[in-house]
Chain A
Amino acid sequence: MAETIRTIEDTKHAHEDEHHDDHHEEGNFFTNYIFSLDHKVIGKQFLFTGMFWAIIGGGMSILFRLQLGFPNMNLEWLKPMLGEWITAEGKIDPEFYLALVTMHGTIMVFFVLTAGLSGTFSNFLIPLQIGARDMASGFMNMLSYWFFFLSSVVMFASLFLSTGPASGGWVIYPPLSALPDAVQGSKGGMTLWLIAMALFIISSLLGGINYITTVINLRTKGMSFSRLPLTIWAFFLTAVIGLLSFPVLFSAALLLIFDRSFGTSFYLSDIYIAGEALPNTGGSALLFQHLFWFLGHPEVYIVILPSLGITSEIISTNSRKPIFGYRAMVGSLLGITILSFVVWAHHMFVTGMNPFLGSIFMFLTLIIAVPSAVKVFNYLTTLWRGNIVFTPAMLFSIGLVSLFISGGLTGIFLGNSAIDIQLHDTYFVVAHFHIVMGSASFFGMVAGIYHWFPKMFGRMMDDKLGYVHFWLTFIGVYLVFFPMHYIGIAGFPRRYYTFTNFDAFSSFTDLNMFVSAAAIITFGAQFIFVFNFIYSIFRGRLASENPWRSNTLEWTTPRFPGHGNWPGEIPTVYRWPYDYSKPGAKEDFIPQTVPYSQTPESNLPHENELIEQEEVKQEGIIVDEASEER
C-alpha cells in the first residue's frame, strides 16, 4: 500500500523536481510559503512562530523578575508599553504579576516547547530521516500549523484585554479560573485562554496523528524500527503521548467552559464570593486537577522527549561514536512513555487527595526515575573515549545532559510525598522544573536548530557566536535556577508578588536580585542567537550536504531538498544510524545508505550474514548514494 502511494508521489514530484530551484514554480507565493503542504516549510513555520513566542514568553519572565529582584524599582518607564498595569507608584500591578507568570508558563510550555519543538523537528525531520517524500497527510499537516497559528492569535489577543490575560497560574485551577469575580484574569482573558488552548489541542492532535502515521507507514526500504534514529523514536513516542493525553485536557477545558458560561457545576461547589453564595453544589475542584495533570504530567515528557532524541543524535554524531545502548535508549523512551501516564497525581500530594493514592503515586513516580537514570548513564558512556567535536549543537547537548541530571535529581525529592509536603509550591519546584523541563528542553531545541540549520536553510550558523551563546546561556541558566533551590529550601512559596509580608520569607533579597540580574543577562544573550539565526539564513557560510559527517538519511538529500526531498529514488537503508568510528572503516562514519556488501572491511560477523538479504532487496534499485563521501 505504502509502495503504491510512493510511486504516485514519485511521478507527481518528478516534474516538480526539474525546477525546484526556481522560486516561481507553479504554485504561487501563498501555496509555497504560507499554505504550504511541504513538511519542511511547515516545520520552519512552527520554528519561526515558536521563536516569536519564546521572545514574548521570555520577556514576560524578565518583567516579573524585575518585580521579584528589585521590588523598589520605579517602573514608570514601562508605562508606554504596559499602561494601566503599572500602578501610580511605578510598580507592576499584583494581578498583572500573576497574569505574567501564568502567560509565561502557558506560552513556554505549550507554544514554545510543545509546538515550537515538536512542531518544528517532528515535521522537519520525520520524513527526512525515515526516507519519505512528505508527511502522510500534507493537508492535515498544514491544518495543524494553521490551527496553531489561530490559537497563537487568540492567545496573543488576550494580552491586550483591559482585564488582562488569564492569571490563575498555567494550571488554571478552578474555582479561581472559573469565577470572573475571583480575579480579573478570569474574565475575558480566561475565555480566550480556553479558546486558544482548544485550538492548540486540535493542532497538536492533527500533527500527532500525522507523525505517528508517517513513522509507521512511510519508512523507506530497509528502515526497520530497529534502524530508526533515536530522534524518530522520540518524536514518535512524543506524538503517542500527545494523542492520548491532549484529549483529556480538551475535556477538562470543555467542562471548565461549561462551568464558566453555562452554569454547570463540574468543578464548583459551596462557594461564597463577591458577597453572595453561588448556587453551584456537588462539583469537585479536584476533578479538574486530575484531568489537568493527566495531560499535565505527560506534557512534561512531550516537552523533554524530543530534546532527548535530538541530543542523542547530536551527541553520537559529534562524539564520533555509536550511541551507547541503543536498545536501552529506546527501551527507556518506551518506559517513560508508558509510565508518564501513571504518575500524574504526584502533583497533588497535598491537595486533599486521599493519602493512599498519594502512596501509590509516590511508588510509580520513583519508578520513572530509573529509565531517566539509564539515559544519563548511556549519554555519559557515549562520550567516554569518543573523539568529541564541539559544535554549538554538541555544546548545547552536553548542557542538556547536565541540566537533565541536575533537574532530574531534585525530582526524587518532589516525588517523595513526605518531602513534598514542605517543598510543594515553593521555589524548589520552580527550580526543579525550570531546569529539567524548561531549560533542558530548550537546550535540546537550540541544539537541534544549530545542528539542522544547514539542512533547513542550506547555510551554516556562525560557530563562534554559537559558542558565546552557549556559554552565556549555560552559565546563565544555572545562575538563574540553581539559587532557587536555596530559596525553596528556605520555604519561599511560588507565585508571590512580594515576600515582605512574612518574616519567614524576608531573607534572600540579595539572592533574588542576583537571580533577576542573571535572568536579564541570559535573556539578553538569546539575542546573539536570534542575530546569528537571521544573519545566517541570508549570509551564512554555504553548507555542504553533510557538514557534520553524519549517518542519517537527511544528509543524503541535496543542499536545498526540494518538494519530495530526494530528486531521484528514495534511498534504501541498510544499517542502523550509529556506525561511527567502526573499526576497519576508512572514514569515521558510514551512512545508513551504505550496504554491508560495500564495507567488508568493517562488518561485524552477524552483519556479513545480512549481505545476502541486501542483494534481494537491492533489486530494482539503481541509485547508489555515494555522494555523501564527498
Chain B
Amino acid sequence: MLTFAIIAGLLLLVVLLLLLFRINALTDVMKTEGQRRASTSNKVNAVLMMVFLIAAGALFFWYSIVRQNEYKLPVASDHGIVTDNLFWISTIVTGIVFILTHILLFWFSYRYQYKKNAKALYYPENNKLEIYWTVIPAIVLTGLVFSGWKAWTDITDKAPEGAEVVEIVGQQFQWTARYPGKDKQLGSFDFRMIDEVNSLGIDFSDKSSFDDFIPRKIFLPVNKPVEFKIRAKDVLHSVYAPHFRLKMDAVPGMPTRFWFVPNTTTAKMREDLKNSGNPFWQEIDPDTGEPKWKNFNYELACAEICGRGHFSMRLLIEVVEEVEYEKWYAEQKSWLSMNEDYLSKVPANLKELAAISAGIENSANN
C-alpha cells in the first residue's frame, strides 16, 4: 500500500509536469482566441458529474453491504437496542434525502450544461415551494427529535432502585473499578487521601469503605440494571463501552453517572457471534489461532483525549449470569484486607468493625 502511495504520488507529479507543458502550449493558443463561453471541457465536466454520481453511488452501496458485518458492532444493552434503532431509522431517512438530492444535483449539472442557443429559465422565486421545503424537513426532524428525546430521557433518568453500583475512576492512563462490597455502599473518597497505594483516595473513616473491593476486571450481572458512578483523578476521561452504547465523561471534581442494563452475557455473545453466520467473526485471529468469536470480550475504552496513553486505557468487562455474579462478588477480597497498613487510617472506634467488614482474620495491629 505504501509503495502504491509513492507510485501514485509520482504519477501525479508526472501528470503535473505534463500539464505544465500543455498549459504553455495552450496559453499561446488561448491568447489569440477570444472569450469563449464554454469549450469541450464543459461537456467533459458535465459527463464526469454523471460518472461520479453512478460510480460513487455504486461504491457506496457496494461497500455498505459488503462490510456491514464489520461495522455493525454487536450490541449488549437494553438502551443500546433503542439507540441503534434510532440510528438506523435516521440512516434510512437521511439516506433517502442523501440519494435524492445527489441525483438531482448531478443530474441537473449534466442536463443543464451550457448550450449555445439555450437560455436559462428566469425563475427567481416560488413561495409555495419554499414553504414546502421548510415545513416538510421541519416535520421529519420533529419526528426524529421526539423519538430521540424519549430515548434520551429514559436513558438519563435515575437508575432504578437496587441497581448494582460500580465506581469507575479514570486516571492517566487506566481505569479502575471499585465495588461497594457486601454492604452495597461505596465508601466515600477524597482526592487529598490519594497516595501511591490508595490510588482512589478511599476515605477509611467512612465505615462503608471497609468492604469495598477493586477487581482487575469489571464483572456485571446480566439483565440487571447497573449504575456506573464515574469520576476522574487528574484530567478529563470518558468512559466508553462501545458494545453497551455507553459513554460518559469522567470529570475531576464532578462525579457523573450512567446506568444501563447489560442484556447478554459474554459467553452468550460469543455463542451468538459463532452462530450468527457472520463471516467476520469466523475469521481466524492470527494472534490466537482461534476464530474471533471465541475471544470476544466487552471492553472499556477512553473517549476523551487525556494525554500520551489515551489510546491504551483498556479495562475488560465480563457479563455473567446473576448466580455466577453473586458467587464472584462474595469471593472478592476487600481492598483493606489486602492493604492492612491502611487500618491505621481507620478511627480507633471503628477498627474492630473495619477488621470484620474487610474480612481481616487476625486484626493484631491495634
Contact = CB atoms under 8 A, between A and B. Distances in A.
A325 B90 contact: no
A413 B94 contact: yes
Given A387-B112, A421-B155, A581-B119, A406 B172 contact: no
B119 A588 contact: yes
Interface stretch (A45-53, A189-197, A459-467): A459-467
Contact of A374 (B8, B20, B133, B233): B133
Interface stretch (B29-37, B336-344, B352-360): B29-37
B327 interface: no
A464 B307 contact: no
Contacts of A5: none
Interface in B56-82: 56, 60, 63-64, 67, 70-73, 80, 82
B254 A388 contact: no
A279 to B, nearest CB: 9
B125 A326 contact: yes
A272 B191 CA distance: 6
Given A324-B124, A389-B37, A419-B86, A520 B9 contact: yes
Interface string A89-130: 000001100100000000000000000000000000000000
A418 B152 contact: yes
Contact of A271 (B243, B253, B256): B253
A475 B201 CA distance: 53
Contacts of A464: 19, 22-23, 26, 41
Contacts of B156: 355, 358
B192 to A, nearest CB: 5
A409 interface: yes
A285 B120 contact: no
Which 3 pairs from chain A and chain B are nearest by CB?
A: A269-B253, A355-B156, A491-B242
Interface in B86-132: 86-87, 90-91, 93-94, 97-98, 101-102, 104-106, 108-109, 112-115, 118-126, 129-130
Interface in A511-549: 511, 513-514, 516-517, 520-521, 524-525, 527-528, 531, 535, 539-542, 544, 547
B311 interface: yes
B362 interface: no
Interface stretch (B160-168, B220-228, B294-302, B318-326): B294-302
B66 to A, nearest CB: 11
A503 B240 CA distance: 14
Interface stretch (B141-149, B177-185, B202-210, B211-219): B141-149
A328 interface: yes
Nearest to A460: B30
B188 interface: no
A322 B286 CA distance: 61
Contacts of B93: 412
A425 B238 CA distance: 10
B38 interface: yes
A284 B130 CA distance: 45
Interface in A472-521: 472, 474-475, 478, 482-483, 486-487, 489-491, 493, 495-499, 501-505, 507-508, 511, 513-514, 516-517, 520-521
B1 A513 contact: yes
Contacts of B84: 422
A179 B235 contact: yes
Contacts of B333: none
Contact of B109 (A168, A366, A388, A583): A388
Interface residues of A, number: 142
Interface stretch (A24-32, A213-221, A306-314, A378-386): A378-386
Nearest to A532: B23
B191 A424 contact: no
Given A380-B105, A419-B148, A465-B19, A286 B134 contact: no
B83 A380 contact: no
B112 A350 contact: no
Nearest to B249: A351
Contact of A419 (B83, B256, B301): B83
Nearest to B313: A501
Given A370-B141, A531-B16, A421 B83 contact: yes
Contacts of A416: 86, 90, 144-145, 148
Nearest to A392: B45
B193 to A, nearest CB: 8
Contacts of B63: 483, 486
A467 B38 CA distance: 13
Interface in A538-563: 539-542, 544, 547
Contact of A383 (B38, B105, B311): B105
B114 A389 contact: yes
26 contacts: A95-B308, A281-B253, A285-B253, A286-B254, A324-B124, A328-B134, A384-B104, A384-B121, A402-B102, A406-B98, A412-B90, A416-B86, A416-B145, A418-B86, A425-B304, A426-B303, A468-B19, A490-B73, A493-B240, A493-B301, A496-B311, A502-B299, A524-B9, A539-B27, A580-B122, A588-B119
B201 A272 contact: yes
A363 interface: yes
Nearest to A319: B120
Contact of B108 (A327, A351, A380, A542): A380
Interface in A27-78: 69-70, 73
A119 to B, nearest CB: 29
Nearest to B5: A517
Contacts of B125: 324-328
A362 interface: yes
A528 B18 CA distance: 12
Contacts of B296: 503
A455 to B, nearest CB: 16
By size class, the interface of chain B is 35 or more
B42 A389 contact: yes
B251 interface: yes
Contacts of B54: none
Interface in B250-268: 251-254, 256
Contact of A98 (B90, B256, B308): B308
A387 B105 contact: no
B348 interface: no
Nearest to B196: A275
B112 A520 contact: no
A401 interface: yes
Contact of A418 (B9, B23, B82, B104): B82
B137 interface: yes
B172 A182 contact: yes
A366 B246 contact: no
A359 interface: yes
B12 A503 contact: no
Given A416-B86, A490-B71, A516 B5 contact: yes
A277 B192 contact: yes
B249 A350 contact: yes
Contacts of A465: 19, 23
A487 to B, nearest CB: 8
Given A389-B37, A486-B71, 17 more contacts: A70-B2, A182-B306, A268-B253, A271-B253, A285-B236, A324-B125, A402-B105, A412-B141, A418-B151, A423-B87, A464-B19, A474-B52, A491-B242, A493-B240, A507-B280, A521-B9, A580-B120
B309 interface: yes
A542 B305 CA distance: 51
Given A272-B191, A517-B4, A520-B9, A390 B42 contact: yes
A270 interface: yes
Contacts of A413: 87, 90-91, 94
Contact of B41 (A467, A487, A502): A467
Contact of B118 (A277, A387, A542): A387
B4 A321 contact: no
Contacts of A282: 253
A140 interface: no
Nearest to A488: B71
Interface centre among A285, A367, A388, A467, by most B CB within 10 Å?
A388
Contacts of B83: 418-419, 421-422
